[in-house]
Amino acid sequence: RGVPFLLKDLVAHSAGDPYHAGMRLLRDLAWVEPHDTYVAARFRAAGFVFLGKTNVPELGPLPTTEPEAYGATRNPWDTARSPGGSSGGSAAAVASGMVPIAHANDGGGSIRIPASACGLVGLKPSRGRTSLGPDAGSVWEGMAIEHVVSRSVRDTAAVLDVVAGYIPGDPYTAPAPARPFRAEVGADPGRLRVGLLTRAPGGAVELHPECVRGAQTTARLLESLGHRVEEAHPPALDEEETGLAVMTVISTWIARDLAFWSERTGRPIGARDVEPMIWSVAEQGRAVTGLQYVRAAEHLHGFARRV
């Protein structure tokens, strides 16, 4: 008995179950992890029943879900389109009604993008709100965090209540909530100050007019509820160095991932063992010096404060 649930096949894993991270190499080795990660153990203790794993792009750095290992995941609303990524498999499973809720994680949009594409609730919790242990402390310099995609704010809040919380060894901790997150659903928050962002950071892309209209419609609704809404675009969002710092961190981590799996499997990993994009990013990461990485990390921590 319990709630049917799927684990995203990345970062979190469950004892005795396959873990492939979208890699052909791990698939072909039928790789299995021997223990639950902390968040998986908390899911299990809360009454979730693990039915299987969901598809991910290889090692997770993409906003789509099309690994060579398992093929493309389709959007249930329109199978000619993508569900986004990297939690695209989880989002497609929930949106199609396979399960009411599924594990997901997010470093650069991997919960939020699929939730948006599939019409779900996707919350990226604050850094340190959920644990990445015991296998990892920080992933991508604190950018990555565990949670779920669901079909309601209520469910998302209730799950956060059972999986959130500091565990000794975690490098970050988020402030404890004043009351359970599920108690916030439907509660009067008072008059909020809400920022409306309708321009992409750095002007890197032109936002689709439909997306802009959606944000503006939401802003008008919030104003009608008595909240204060104002245009907001912090200058820090346009810092050119931020994008470079993100790529420095992610590429170094991808290089680390290949070295890690080479050590664990006892096999050398070459260009033919992974997808071309992953190999290219790993090559960039191998060229990063320690000083460059530390400077990139410092910039990202400062950026978080400036925003």
Q: What is the SS3 assignment for 249?
A: helix
Tokens found for residue 70: 């398992």
Instruction: Check if 96 is active-site.
Output: no
What does the DSSP 8-state code read for residue 130?
Answer: B
What does the DSSP 8-state code read for residue 273?
Answer: G
Instruction: Check if 90 is active-site.
Output: no
User: By C-alpha distance, which of 33, 34, 5 is closest to 20?
Assistant: 33
Active-site hit among 82, 86, 131, 251: 86
Residue with the two structure tokens 């008072």:
190
Question: Cα–Cα distance between 144 and 304 in angstroms, integer?
Answer: 14
Instruction: Check if 87 is active-site.
Output: no
Question: Cα–Cα distance between 51 and 46 in angstroms, integer?
Answer: 15
User: By C-alpha distance, which of 37, 36, 253 is closest to 143?
Assistant: 253
Burial of 2 (0-12, 13-18, 19+ CB in 10 A): exposed
Active-site hit among 8, 124, 150, 251: 8
Active-site hit among 14, 110, 150, 251: 110
* Positions marked catalytic: 8, 86, 110
